[in-house]
Amino acid sequence: MWLILTAFAAIITTILWYVKAPEDKYKLGTLSLAFWGATIMWLIDHILAYLTEGGEFFELNQDATMLGVSVIIFALVIWLFILLISDPKNVIRSIFQKKSL
């Protein structure tokens, strides 16, 4: 299930990045690449596990769903840190400038 959720997140962020493409102000390209990297990694893992061990290709249970949700949340938190460091709207910079006056 984590493969499906991560692929879905990758598709959504890619669409959002494409809509805002000329000015990647909010670093959606970085978020999209993170989700696509995880999706490709897990797709290869699923294919190799299916070919060597057999069984189900997709795990559709609660643990797999929670893993997918936690991976998406973790990627969003990392993206948030990247966004705060780049400060595209200069909000953090203006806060520090007001305090230094």
Q: Per-residue pLDDT tens for 42-59?
A: 999 999 999 999 888 888
Give CA–CA dist 13/58, Å, rounded: 22
Give CA–CA dist 92/15, Å, rounded: 28
Which pLDDT tens digit goes with each residue over 67-82? 999 999 999 999 999 9
Owning domain of residue 39: 2-100
pLDDT > 70: percent of the chain: 97
Buried b (16+ CB within 10 A) or exposed e, 13-44: bbeebeeeeeeeebbbbbbbebbbebbeebee
Q: Work out how many domains the chain is built from and give that number.
A: 1
Q: What is the pTM of this model?
A: 0.84
